[in-house]
Amino acid sequence: MSETPEKLENQSSRGSARRRAMMDAAWQILLDKGFSGVTLNDVISQSGGSRTTLYEAFGGKDGLIAAVMTERCMEFSAELHISLETDLPPRDALTDFATKLAKKILSEEAVRFTKILYTEGHHFIPLVDKFMKVGPDSTRARLARYLKRQHDLGRIVIDDPDHYAELFDSMISGGWQKQMLRLINPPHYADAEITQRVTRVVDIFLCGVASPAYRNDVSTNTP
């Protein structure tokens, strides 16, 4: 006897719920215990799923971790990418992008994950490579494409969008991430401090790349 569409839909819904629970459990365990601390037994215990379901859905521990990291990276990057999918003038778009990036990398979750990458990443190279591809590398590529569009519009003058994207990203995140890697009493940054740093970085960056026409336009429209 064939299964009804309603029964198949219910089975699919239950399967999606189990996969969701497994991914949520794996992410929390990863943040609490690191890569090496994620065990299938703990994931199954916390999610209420089964080993069979886990292997069918993810192929094993590495597949599960890769899936949840990919999802989290995409969620992390989505709002950042919105800032770069416009043709807003460089000062506006870069300030918006940099402010969002700074607040995200300084969030408790991002800080905990960054520490795990630095302390354990050399033991889990394929997973770290996956994270870099769908996370930082993807965002930097979008930033490079935005800078290339601004160059084509005559607002900035650059000869290597990828390199300038790397420079801007490093100016925003480098020093802060180094500070946040402190294992004891990492510093906390207020919104005013973030705004001040972002403003300085954007000013310095545009001082080096803004075209004369864009400088004149900004000067003319500044009260």
Residue 173: closest CA among 219, 86, 106: 106
Q: Within this chain, do residues 114 and 206 fall inside the same structural domain, yes or no?
A: yes
**Domain that includes residue 202, residue range:** 68-221
Q: Is 210 helix (H, G, I), strand (E, B) or coil?
A: strand
Q: Within this chain, do residues 12 and 75 fall inside the same structural domain, yes or no?
A: no
Tell me how many domains the chain contains. 2
Q: What's 87's domain CATH number?
A: 1.10.357.10
Q: Within this chain, do residues 52 and 73 fall inside the same structural domain, yes or no?
A: no
Q: How many other C-beta atoms can be found within 10 angstroms of the C-beta atom of residue 218?
A: 15
Q: Within this chain, do residues 40 and 77 fall inside the same structural domain, yes or no?
A: no
- End position of a domain, from candidates 17, 33, 59: 59
For the chain, which residues score pLDDT lower than 50?
Answer: 1, 7-11
Count Cα atoms within 13 angstroms, Cβ side, for 215. 10
Q: What is the pLDDT of residue 93?
A: 96
Q: Within this chain, do residues 181 and 78 fall inside the same structural domain, yes or no?
A: yes
- End position of a domain, from candidates 11, 33, 59: 59
Q: What is the pLDDT of residue 14?
A: 73
Q: Within this chain, do residues 103 and 137 fall inside the same structural domain, yes or no?
A: yes
Q: What is the pLDDT of residue 162?
A: 97
Q: Within this chain, do residues 130 and 212 fall inside the same structural domain, yes or no?
A: yes
Q: Within this chain, do residues 49 and 81 fall inside the same structural domain, yes or no?
A: no
**pTM for this one?**
0.83
Q: What is the pLDDT of residue 223?
A: 52
Q: Within this chain, do residues 44 and 72 fall inside the same structural domain, yes or no?
A: no
Q: What is the pLDDT of residue 178?
A: 66
